[in-house]
Structures are given as structure tokens and as C-alpha cells.
Amino acid sequence: MDILEAIRRRASTRAFLDKPVDRTTIEKILDTARWAPSGADIQPWHVAVVTGQTKRRLSEALLAARIAGETENPDYQYYPRKWEDPYKTRRIACGLALYQALGIGRDDKDRRIKAWNSNYHFFGAPAGLLFFLDRSLEKGSWVDMGMFIENVMLAALGLGLATCPQAALAEYPGIARHVLDIPDTRLLVCGMALGYPDDAAPVNRYRTAREPVAGFTAWFE
């Protein structure tokens, strides 16, 4: 697949086929992604791959915390504490597009909760990835991690798989560290669903808008 085509085709997938992803394929994805750049070549990423019973235990623990009303305690603040435009408007448009694709009305609270809770089951994907960084590292390493995660998604697409990066899976990092026996010295950045896409699912067919180049670029000549 052409690189430019892959970048344009990559999309967050929220419905997967009941088809396992073998370990060799996941290793190939990570073997490709590891060539991402990083400052001073420190390669700060750590990845936990979860499948089978372990993924099920993690999903159940995260969902139980959510249902019990436990306060989220992520290792960092992902979103702004106060939304302002244009980001506020884009966020609302994204949410509306998602719920319309799912056929969920604005006032259908129960179905909205059910849709949100599917995050903790990796949207039914057979495999999940969790991305960790050492607490001793600074903001530059978060930039490095972003480039690595994008490589993971593009490599997966190149092998016929789909992904969905998920901030929701980092809402209760202590639970993830406990289930996976990850030391507290590592921060949980995000998770990711990985599997074969269900192309027939309406939720996988909607797309969000992107700003034109002129909307975010200034030229200095």
C-alpha cells in the first residue's frame, strides 16, 4: 500500500470481526513501528499486548470501576480543562457523527452509556495494546511516543488490520498496572484496539472532517 494512501485511509475502527490476530502478525507490526524517530534515539516506548484471558480480566476490571462510579485518575491530563473554539466545535461534531453512525439519539442515555462502555472491551477487538512511558521522561518523549503509535497504526493497516487509539483505556492506570504487573514507575499513555475490521458495521463507515491545509498553515517566504 502506498504510504500516502495509508495515511489517508487510517481511521478509528469501533467494530471488529471475531477473528484472532496471531502473535507473529503483532510482532511484525511492532517490528516495523520501532523505527519511529525519538530524541537522542532513546526509544522511550513500552508496549503491553493483551489477548485472551488477560484482556478479558483487564476489560472486566476497568468496566467494574466505571460502573461503580470510581473517579478517573489518569496519569496525565489528556483534554483541556476548559474547551474553547475551534476545538470545542470540532469535538462536538465528532461526537455527533459517532452517535449518528451508531443510530443513538441525543436523549438515549442508556445506549450512550453502553456505547461508551464498549471502550473497555476494546470494541470487541481480539487484541489490545497499552503504551507506557517511564515517569522520569519529559514532554519530548511524549512526542516520540505519538510518532511510534502512528507507526503502529499504519503498520497494522498495511497488514490488513484496523486500530482505534483509546484514551479511555488510560482512565484507571492503577488497575492496568495491577492486572499486568507493570511497575508504578511507568505512566500509561493510552490503549489501542487491534483486529480485523467489520466493514459492514455502520460505525466503521463514518468519517470526521479535516481542516484544509490553509486552515492550519502559515507560509513565511
CATH of the domain at 9: 3.40.109.10
Q: Residue 188's domain spans which residues?
A: 3-77+120-207
115-153 residue pLDDT tens: 899 999 999 999 999 999 999 999 999 999 999 999 999
User: 0.85 exceeded by the pTM?
Assistant: yes
- Residue 82, domain member (yes or no): no
Domain count, the chain: 1
- Residue 100, domain member (yes or no): no
- Residue 68, domain member (yes or no): yes
Residues of the chain whose pLDDT is less than 50?
none
pLDDT of residue 49: 98
**Pairing relationship of beta strands 162-166 and 127-134 according to DSSP bridges:** unpaired
Let me know: does 29 contact 159? Beta carbons within 8 Å.
yes
- Residue 115, domain member (yes or no): no
- Residue 216, domain member (yes or no): no
| Alpha-carbon dihedral angle through residues 143, 146, 150, 152, given to the nearest 10 degrees | 120
- Residue 135, domain member (yes or no): yes
- Residue 112, domain member (yes or no): no
pLDDT of residue 161: 98
- Residue 58, domain member (yes or no): yes
